[in-house]
Structure 1
Amino acid sequence: MLTSRTTSRVVLLCWSILFLVPVMLFSKGQFQKQWVQPISMNDQTDGSLLNVGNWGYWVKNNGLSAHDPYTDGGGGYYPKGKVPIIYTEGLLWGAILKDKATGIALTDTPRVGGIYYHAGTQPGWINADGTPADVNDARVRIYRIRSDWRNLSEADLRAECAYLYHVEPVAVTETMLQAVREQYKEDWRDWPVDLGAPYVDVNGNGMYDPVLDSLGCPDATQGDYPGIRDADQVIWLVANDLNETATFNLSGSLPIGLEARITYWTYKGPYNPLINVIFKRVELINKSGFVLDSMYVSFFSDPDIGDYNNDLVGCDSVRSTAFAYNGTDTDKEFQEYGLKPAAIEYDLLQGPMIKTGNAQDTAIFDFKYQIGYKNLKMTSFSPEEIVTLGNPPMGDLKTTFSAYNMMRGFRPLIDFKHPIMRVFYSGPRAGQPTKFPLSGNPLTDPYAQLGDIDGQGGNLPPGERRMFLNSGPFTMQPGERQEVVVAIIGGLGKDRLNSLQQVWETDMVVKRLYKHLLADLPKPPATPVVRATPLDNQIVLNWGVDSLRIKEIEETSHGGYEFEGYTVYQLPSPDAQLTDDGVKRLATFDRVDGVKDIFAYFYSPKYRRTIYAPVQYGTDSGIKRHFTVSWDSVNNRPLYSGSTYYFAVTAYNYNKDYERYPSMESAPQIVAVTVQGPKPGERYEAKPDEELEVRQEGTADVKCQVVVADPSETTGHQYEVFFTQVTDPRSPDYGQYVWNLKDVTENKVVLNNQKIFTPRDSSEIARFPAIYVDGLDIKVYNTHKQGIKAIVEVANGNGPLPKDQWDDEGAPYHGNNVWHSLSASTDPNRFYISAGGGDGELARIERSIANAKGHDFELRFTPAGGIFAWWYDNVDTAATVPFAIWDVGIGTYDDHSDDVRCLTGGYSGGETVGVFDFACTDAALGFPATDWIYARVPLDSKGSYQAFYNDVTSGAWTYEWWRHSREVLSRIVICDFGGARTLPEAGTVIRFITYKAPSDSLKYYFTAPGRVENDLTLAKKDVEKINVFPNPYYAGAEWSPNGPVRGVTFTHLPQHAIIRIFALNGLQVRKFEKRDDSQFLRWDLHNAQGKPVASGLYIVHIDMPELKKTKKLKLMVIMGE
């Protein structure tokens, strides 16, 4: 009896024949259904599911895939959990067998096998003796792994079980959860590398030598591990075609002797373009003993884009792709979910490899480039060619002939020796022969004005479609291995053609990545490890606790994606997804780099299609690794003590070169937190974000800031921050100072070699990430870059300047600021200091200030003066001037024992050489200015002032002193404001004060707040806090964000407490004995017999034996009707 689907195809077939269209269709119902029984909990090894990413995709252990075992219908779901868009799919192969020695064909006909609606394969490998593996062997099965199997949350596992067992999430049992978790562990542990399963060769030695953990499972952080590098989920199976019955039932052929190792893998991440992709690799090993000549492979797919009666297909011969999309703007199956129709594409990323011998050719094989070879592309495309594979029935040798013709790009007729070409049926080349029908572009040419478009011209209207992506010919020698790789790509847009565009956009990314062998793939950052600390009315979320994870997150890049920031969320339930409407974004902490809102294309559950919208909301806030929650943002009200809340912290990255997919976000680790104060007998001595007092010892323009991040982690210890210089010449920080942290109380160093941050401005200090240790956030930073802090006149002819001569800027340095500011009012001819040339800016003086190493300098005017050499005028001229410059050490102004006289000289400014006068003009303010003064400090005795003096007054300069000194100050000019054109009077001292770098003598000290634990006296006092809520209890009263109350909760209980509840008549209603660390105990308002209690007043007696204390409470219960 014909089914409704069969009838539709017969009508369509008659129509096709009538109009001589070479597109003939027969019912899926004519073929034997492969899966009709649901998978039991013990059968995960016979059939399994790819479910990481946006696909839900079923696989059977014989290689049949994308067919649902529960519905016997489409099993390639996109989006996952919604609509199937693939009814089934597989791989066919065909070849002529020849004797290896003679080269003579066994017969003049090919053999065809593979996986179609019927699997011509059976599970298992081919043994060395050419026999198939026993299908009952325990290793003959599907293997499925996840890279994150150790850390799967219950919510993720529950969602997976719901798909795998075809039940609602609430119906998932603990047995199901445990079965899936154990199967992941078993498959990871027993991954069959010896059978050909792929693995990641971390050490590159060509051998699988994993480092095993305590469970006997490979540790991916230590060595080799199962699967595909960076893949999040992998399915692997091996099958063979040595079952004559299976092969005959498929095509009427005898087996060839091929072993097929099939790997499927997927990726996760909410904004990762690869979540829309399934990668499928088929490795074929010729174990027949014969040469397989004129061999072809054909990826087959029966795409059903929702309703199978309105589909269209096409191909792109240049990109080696075949695609399917909806022929109408709406589809009834997608409409049920409020979705527009999806689209699908198969991209032949890696065709069979053939040898060319040309060194310019390269091929991909086993994720490596092979020189002198090339991969075949798609060599033909066959749409809808079911007729001769289904009528005459499968199992007839004529099926082999027609299939082999089809693989070669001809019409699927039974005369394979005289094949007939296909032709275009629409577009300007209609009627011309082709191996690539329907190769037009439906996006740019929907009405076939330029190319051949399905549904247009002489092609059939939208309806049932199938497609075959073919590649060949090639030859396989006995024992030779070939592999082909295809990407199966889904897309969902704002309409049917936009869905196809989404597919093509993703395909561009896929091709780019596969060209680079899927190495260094775009990946989300690792998931932050979050510690949650509940307080009285706050919650501290701290993800700085794991320094190794922080380093992994913030310093690791993937595919050009660099860490950008963290996002903090509150969720309405433990199984909520970040894209759910009820999820609230609480904060974003991102790098200070100008990258703020990040837009991307992604599937939106709200709009039910792919949209372009912000995915991250940065503010250049700076990186912070803890956050204090003080408000229930999900319910928009205060936090309730005793209530449980759910949070997640994610990390996200950024790559400006991927315009469509510029950012990816880590998987959330959802943490549940119950708001509560310190347990009885405990106290925290600090509050979150409280800044501690820090004591400085030594001189430096460096600041140490310590803030409480997590009060529950602080130790009460004393700490010391000290500084050391990097002495390793190979280090990029060679010669620089770094800071270290010592726990003085325990006499141990807890942090080593931390870099000192130099902010660009004061606003950047708050945005700079702190280092977390023992509940504290610590920042050590330079308050300024190296340079000159102040130029101050500290004395004149009358001696040190009195306070009434200090100005505001000079007062901190006991003098009068003279940088672009007038000298003391008591000076006989007032002056100021500027810089020669440019705009007279300070940077011109600071040109070589790094050589100062934090030392200060004084320009001293004396009767004796000193020698000045015009070394930058290229003439050996020197003269006496009434000043000298001294290196006075690091802030030791009153200690002259360390003073060193500098070499003075410079440049005439283009005026008279040999005469130090006011012939120049200040570029900043326009007043007369002196020659440009430079100062050099000696490095040794050959560079001393005396050596310099002797040389420049000798009449024959050797400049030996130049090589033994270094410049520290440059281009200083003294500017004449008073008009007398005289230099400052003798006794005047102008001090150049520099910013001070750290030194070995610099120290900072602070004491961390502590916490009180197990204090018996406090615990006894805390008995007074014991309470019960809600009280009174009203049935259905809503006091909690978790929903209506179904009981009452006792709070502030010690670890051990006995609670007895009595009715007013003295009868005991319920008794509890609490022995745990929680301070809460919940009563569900049922008596000891499990029946609801009546309304009324209840007396609660609470005994605390260890505290020798009791507490009595009254509780009013109103149960309602």
Structure 2
Amino acid sequence: MNFSPNKLNGSLIVLILLSTLMYAEGGGKKLNKTADPGTWPHTYMNVNNISTLIYADGQADINLLGNSGFVYPKGSGKAAVYESGFLWAGKINGEVRANGSSYISGLKPGKILPGGTPGDPSKARMYRVRRDYKTADLSSEISDNEGTQSEIRDRYDKDWKEWPAIDGAPYEDVDHDGQYNPSVDIPGEPGADETIWFVANDLDQTTSRNFIGSNPIGIEMQCTVYAFRNPGSLKNMIFKKYKIINKSTTPIDSMYTMTWGDMDIGNASDDFAGCDTLLNLGYIYNSISKDNYYAETPPAVGFALMQGPAVKSSAMDTAYLNNRKIPGMKNLPMTSIGYIFKNSTEFEGDISLGDNYSDGTLRLYNYMQGKTMNGRYYPVPAELGGGETRFPLSGDPVAKTGYLDGMLEDAADRRIGVNSGPFTMAPGDTQEVVFAEIAAGADPGVNYLQAVTLLKNYAGFAREFFKESRSGVRILSSPALTAGEYDKEIVLNWGSDQASVSKIESFDFLTHKFQGYNVYQLPYAGAKITEGKRIAVFDIIDSVKIIYGEVINRETGAVERLAQQFGKDSGIQRYLRITEDAYTKLPLINGKKYYFAVTAYTFSPSLDPANVETAPSYVEAAPHSNDPGVLYSASIGDTLSVSHVSGKSDGEVLPLVVEPELLTGDEYMVEFDTLNGKTLWKVTNTTKNKVLLSNQTALAEKEGYPIADGILFKVIGPDSGMKRDLPYLYNGKSGMGWVIRAGERLFVQNLSLGLNLEGFGGAIGAGKTWLGSSAGYDRMKNILIKFAAADTNGNVSSNDPDVSYAYRYLMGSDLAPAKNEFAEFIINKAPGFAFQDFKKNFPFAAYDIEDVYNPRRLAVGYLENNAAEGLVNGLYWPPVSVKDNISVNSPREWFFIFDTDYSETPEAALSGDIHSGNMPVLIHATVNRRYSKAWTGDDEMILLVNHLFSPDDKFTFKSIAPVFDGQSAKADVDRINVFPNPYYGVNSQELNRYERFVTFSHLPQKATIRIFNLAGQLVRTIHKESQGQFATWDLLNENNFQAASGIYLVHIDMPELGKTKILKLAVIQEQIIPERY
């Protein structure tokens, strides 16, 4: 049979119609029900793992042909819900009235106008908005036959701009002005990825009575349906918020609401139902392990009540209504289950549709109160003790305990209703009911009972999520991913969008906080994350590494706690250089397309799931050599030269080239400030006079540094306190944090480093490090110590200019003298490290030498210890070499240098407890003397400290932009190539059997490619005017027919370079046979 793309013959039409009808009957979709989706406006909710229809008259989950329409998982072609709806009933002057929607609807679209008349339903409209519609992948919408990509995007744009906030539709008031502004505010349920909103009413007498026989009430129903596309539990649920307003003039009492659903888990005839009173959940699941349509993996589906109607309560209670807290009220929970057997002969049956008051309205009212159609409460099986209940089927089908479906009725077609009430509504009152429609399972390895377990887990998460979301929903955003293409290298970058980074990394919701990033390589375009390879993880350094969660073991089918995230305490990084193919373990190939994705993930120490991973951000990239004539003056990983133009910080500014292609050639300045003791820094592009980065805090080696203009701005702050050095094992005259300026070294650390101070091998450090000090690390100074002459016992001459008045402190002064000779030196018997006296007998002078031309002499002090090994004698003279000078019973002869001018008169501020943390101690030393010999007075030592960043510090540098060189471009003509060559039936980069192409490389921006056969006939002309060096030929001729196999001559004209190039190309085509006729 001939195949013609332009003609569809009668046989094919019949075949398509037959296949459509077969599909309509499959998957448990029932043509024998009386449901009618009607002709009112409708739209899809399909942003996550569910695709379903919502109608303007309140019906939901039924498809346009009147069959099961809740497709789960999306794209599977299998449906788990036939139809669902929301209903209400109450008494007006003793008469029960009811309305809403089930298989048909008693509502018409539109609001109730002032005066109590209905709006024109023909003018009513459904609104749907999606937060990311401008850039979103719209494949789900296209798969649901919603139109072309541009048509769908245009509808999203129209609804965004015309969002009916004035009628009650929710939105994020970004500018907090109380009015919807489409250029600033975000329409839809705050935080949701997609929202549908519409309004309907029950005023039409005929429609109301034809539903279930009730007269109208005067209820306006505003419906908000919203969903999230995150890959975690949220992707498997849709939230529905129903706001009902009594716009009649009559009060309603004894009122109830029901969230109703006819779930058909694939084949409708083998279902069971259940409820969980703790989760406010009603659900339906498969009764046996295998379903005719879902096979071994039938899902479970249910309704979980998030927020019930608000009723008066004690003063201690609080209800939520219209996004406000209402004290003295509470939200009702699920108060009963409406459990409906189809065609039950004993005690249950469907609500009768049509003008049938007793079997319609009254039967529904019974169901809403947890009763059977005959007005009795549900019987409890005899084996469970008998009796009656409003919560039938509340047992655990997994553990096979309690009241279970199947005890009284065999498996069959089931419906379920989650009820809440009673409550009253005065004229003008509003009530709000919110529930989640949740699906679980339908995954390889998840059996029918494990689906119930997952459903309950999802319901629990939904409740916690909804509870916290009342104070503002926060959803972890996907990273903003780009890719740079270089010679045999690809650079993934998700750090340049500072707003995106800030939003992701500040995430804190439901005890979930941002934890890290995952980077994946994917095997082909469109592949799922589960098919990819995780090639890198960058996570916060906090000892949280492997994160476990409940997952399905695909071999055993059991629900297990397995590792889901694989952190390494690596620190945050927002870019990745890739030079190797994760699948082949070989270097990247120029011109070949590779596929990557990046996600962010959270961690919660208390919730299950303990982690949530974002939807992936995808990118494809093909490495290649420089475009013709383009020269990079810097390579990936280069550090640009920096000038420290002011200030004296010991920190570093290291501008690291991440993407040479993005370098601007501009000049930059990095400046610093402090806020509440925290160092902040900013980057200004001084060429453009534009602040590029502000309020940056990263100062440590493994912190996530920001990226902008192709540069990673790495700012490394120095360690606090003295400069670090290892314990020295030599007799040299310098270390990183000290220098012997004259004479010899008189101090040694040996056994004096137990406090782990930062300098001099652990024996000298900042006062703040261990002792405590009012002088912060930002006040540290380089210190010169000039030693005085002292005899072997530490006695000095008061006439020596390097002898200092010093503050003496004593540890254990409140204790009895450890030795009798200590008594005369214990003057102040206060506890702690108490001040004792102030005398001129200290053997060195200390100077602040920050200004080397004007040294400033500093106050000094020392500690003695009233202990058995102490040396309490009123002199600073630490033990020699190997003696312990640290432990509680040791001498603890320590010295201190203060950030206070030297004076020969004691200051009250230094005459207290040295360990109080209130004194400006710059230096704290626990050193020993190196020798037992006398000091000559000829020795000097400098202590070197780290200077932190301050507002005085400024660093500048200039980036180097790529340049275009015409001569190089002409020379690059010789590199022009086409691949694969020969083309032998297939190209490894082709995605399907109908996509055929070869690629030309090393082309300038403008080129004309003419392809001739050997007879000299022009087969195809390709005009290239795009950026980049690649162009493709789809192996079609000018008439869009497949080019013949053979040898082709390719003539490439490059007018801007004044050059041409001729290539030979061999093409051997595969014969394409249509898949269907």
Please state which band the TM-score falls in when normalised by the shorter chain.
Answer: 0.7 to 0.9
Aligned to 2:182: 212
* Residue 709 of structure 1: how far off its partner (Å): 0.5
Deviations, residues 34-78 of structure 1 (Å, cap 9, x unaligned): 038xxxxxx9x71222222332222221111121224x2222233
Match of 1:315 in 2: 275
Question: What corresponds to 1:117 in structure 2?
Answer: 103
Contact map agreement 1:513 1:519 (CA 8 A) in 2: no
Q: Hey, what does 1:63 align to over in structure 2?
A: 58
Matched with 2:763 is: 842
Q: Measure, in 2, the Cα distance between the counterparts of 1:517 and 1:752.
A: 30
Q: 1: distance between equivalents of 2:713 and 2:912?
A: 53
Of 853, 857, 860 in structure 1, the residue corresponding to residue 787 of structure 2 is: 860
Q: Is 1:673 equivalent to 2:673 in the alignment?
A: no
Paired residues for 1:881-1030 under 5 Å: 881=841, 883-890=843-850, 895=852, 897-907=854-864, 910-915=870-875, 922-923=883-884, 932-937=893-898, 939=900, 944-948=902-906, 966-970=920-924, 972-975=926-929, 977=931, 981-998=932-949, 1004=955, 1006-1013=957-964, 1015-1030=965-980
Deviations 1:372-403, CA, capped at 9 Å, x for gaps: 22333333323225668758764222223333
Task: Tell me the equivalent position of 1:629.
Answer: 578
Cα deviation for residue 867 of structure 1 reads 4.3
Find the counterpart in structure 2 of residue 286 from structure 1. Answer: 246
Distance 1:916 1:278 in 2: 76
User: In structure 2, what is the equivalent of residue 78 of structure 1?
Assistant: 72
Displacement of 1:517: 5.2
Q: Secondary structure at the match of 2:158?
A: helix
Q: Alignment partner for residue 565 of structure 1, among 499, 511, 516?
A: 516
What's the % identity of the aligned pairs?
30
- Is the alpha carbon distance of 1:1000 and 1:806 closer, same or farther for their aligned partners in structure 2, counting shifts above 3 Å? farther
Q: 1:343 Cα deviation (Å)?
A: 1.6
Describe the SS at the equivalent of 1:65: coil
Given that 1:931 and 1:973 are in contact with CA atoms closer than 8 Å, whether structure 2 keeps it comes out as: no
Q: 1:365 to 1:385 in 2, by over 3 A?
A: farther
* Cα distance in 2 for residues equivalent to 1:746 and 1:1055: 28
RMSD: 4.0
- Asked if 1:1048 is matched to 2:989, the reply is no
**Distance in 2 of aligned mates of 1:1043 and 1:607:** 36
- 1:662 and 2:610 aligned: yes
Match of 1:495, as an amino acid?
N
For the pair 1:494 / 2:446, whether they are aligned, the reply is: yes
The CA deviation at 1:605 is 9.4
Q: Find the aligned partners of 1:772 and 1:1085 in 2 and give their Cα distance.
A: 41
1:1072-1104 CA-to-partner distances (Å, cap 9, x unmatched) read 443333322323444445555555544433332
Distance 1:1066 1:889 in 2: 86
Q: What letter matches 2:288 in structure 1? A: T
Whether the 8 Å CA contact 1:903–1:945 is kept in 2: the answer is no
Q: Unmatched 5+ residue regions in structure 2? A: 1-28, 790-796, 811-825, 828-835, 1072-1077
Over residues 816-861 of structure 1, what are the superposed CA-to-partner deviations in whole Å (9 max), with x where a residue is unaligned?
999xxxx76xx9xx97677599799636774357476232231412
In structure 2, the partner of 1:773 is: 708
TM-score by length of 1: 0.79
Could you tell me the TM-score, scaled by structure 2's length? 0.82
* Residue 406 of structure 1, CA deviation: 3.0
- What residue identity is the alignment partner of 1:410? K
Aligned equivalent of 2:307 = 350
The amino acid that maps onto 2:959 is A
Tell me the equivalent position of 1:797: none
Q: Taking structure 1 as reference, are residues 441 and 244 closer, same or farther at Cα in structure 2, changes over 3 Å only?
A: same
Instruction: Quote the Cα distance in structure 2 between the aligned partners of 1:1106 and 1:919.
Output: 84
Secondary structure in 1 matching 2:660: coil
Is the CA contact (8 Å cut-off) linking 2:784 and 2:940 kept in structure 1? Answer: no
Corresponding residue for 1:584? 533
Q: 1:382 aligns with which of 324, 328, 338?
A: 338
- Where does residue 275 of structure 1 map in the other structure? 235
Distance in 2 (alpha carbons) for counterparts of 1:1093 and 1:539? 34
SS of the equivalent of 2:456 reads helix
The 1-side partners of 2:1004 and 2:315 are apart by 78
**Is the 2:31–2:67 Cα contact (8 Å) retained in structure 1?**
no
- Checking the alignment, whether the CA contact within 8 Å between 1:715 and 1:1008 is kept in structure 2 is yes
Is this contact kept in 1: 2:637–2:656, CA < 8 A?
Answer: yes
Contact 1:319 1:347 in 2 (8 A): yes
Contact 2:997 2:1033 in 1 (8 A): yes
Distance 1:125 1:817, change over 3 A: farther
Read off the aligned partner of 1:663 and give its amino acid letter: N
1:1057 to 1007, 1010, 1018: 1007
> Which residues in structure 2 correspond to 1:609-628 (within 5 Å)?
612-628=561-577
Find the counterpart in structure 2 of residue 296 from structure 1: 256
Cα separation, 2, equivalents of 1:816 and 1:199: 70
The residue number in structure 2 matching 1:6 is none
Is 1:732 aligned with 2:676?
A: yes
- Deviation track 1:949-994 (CA, whole Å, cap 9, x = no partner) reads 9999xxxx999xx9998433335454365xxx44323312343332
Q: Tell me which of 394, 397, 419 is aligned to 1:470.
A: 419
Cα deviation, 1:504-542, whole Å, max 9, x if unaligned, reads: 222222223333453344522x23223322122222222
Q: 1:696 to 1:188 in 2, by over 3 A?
A: closer
Q: What is aligned with 1:368?
A: 324
Q: Per the alignment, in what secondary structure is the counterpart of residue 633 of structure 1?
A: coil
Alignment partner, residue 139 of structure 2: 158
Structure 1, unmatched stretches of 5+, are: 1-26, 37-42, 99-104, 166-174, 214-218, 414-418, 760-764, 794-803
Task: Judge conservation of contact 1:737–1:756 (CA < 8 Å) in 2.
Answer: no
Kept in 1, the 8 Å contact 2:786–2:846? The answer is: yes
Q: Secondary structure at the match of 1:150?
A: coil
* Offset, 1:472: 2.8
Match of 1:116, as an amino acid?
S
- CA 1:984/1:1053 → structure 2, altered by over 3 Å: closer, same or farther? same
Q: Which residue of 1 aligns with 2:379?
A: 423
Match of 1:402 among 363, 372, 396: 363
Paired with 2:899 and 2:669, the residues of 1 have a C-alpha distance of 36
Segment drifting more, 591-600 vs 605-614: 605-614
Per-residue deviation at 1:426? 4.1
Whether the 8 Å contact between 1:789 and 1:993 is mirrored in structure 2 is no
Contact 2:896–2:922, Cα closer than 8 Å, also in 1: yes
Closer, same or farther in 2 for the Cα pair 1:56/1:925, shift >3 Å?
closer
Name the SS for the 1:509 alignment partner: helix
Which residue identity lines up with residue 462 of structure 2 in the other structure?
V
Aligned residue pairs: how many? 985
What do the CA deviations read for 1:266-323 (whole angstroms, capped 9, x no partner)?
222112x222222222222223322223323232222222222222223344544322
Tell me, in whole angstroms, the C-alpha distance in 2 between the residues paired with 1:392 and 1:968. Answer: 87
1:91 corresponding residue in structure 2: 86
Deviation at 1:240, TM superposition (A): 1.8
Taking a change above 3 Å as real, the CA distance of residues 1017 and 89 of structure 1, as seen in their structure-2 partners, is same
Conservation of the 8 A alpha-carbon contact between 1:631 and 1:639: yes
Distance 2:1041 2:879 in 1: 106
Note closer, same or farther for the CA distance 1:870–1:911 as it changes in structure 2 (3 Å cut): farther
AA of the residue aligned to 1:975? R
Contact kept in structure 1, 2:485 and 2:622, CA below 8 Å = yes
2:458 corresponds to which of 506, 520, 525:
506
Whether contact under 8 Å (2:603, 2:610) holds in the other structure is yes
Query: Whole-Å Cα distance in 2 between the matches of residues 742 and 391 of structure 1?
Result: 70
1:199 paired residue among 148, 165, 171: 171
Match of 1:807 among 702, 712, 732: 732
Asked if the contact 2:309/2:332 (under 8 Å) is kept, the reply is yes
| Residues 245 and 504 (structure 1), Cα distance of their counterparts in 2 relative to 1, 3 Å cut | same
* DSSP 3-state at the match of 1:346: strand
Structure 1 equivalent of residue 159 of structure 2: 187
Tell whether the 8 Å contact from 1:1026 to 1:1053 is kept in structure 2 after alignment.
Answer: yes
**Aligned equivalent of 2:394, options 428, 439, 444:** 439
User: 1:324: how far off?
Assistant: 1.9
8 Å CA contact 1:807–1:816 kept in 2: the answer is no
SS state of the match for residue 449, structure 2?
Answer: helix
Give the Cα separation in 2 of the matches to 1:188 and 1:749.
32
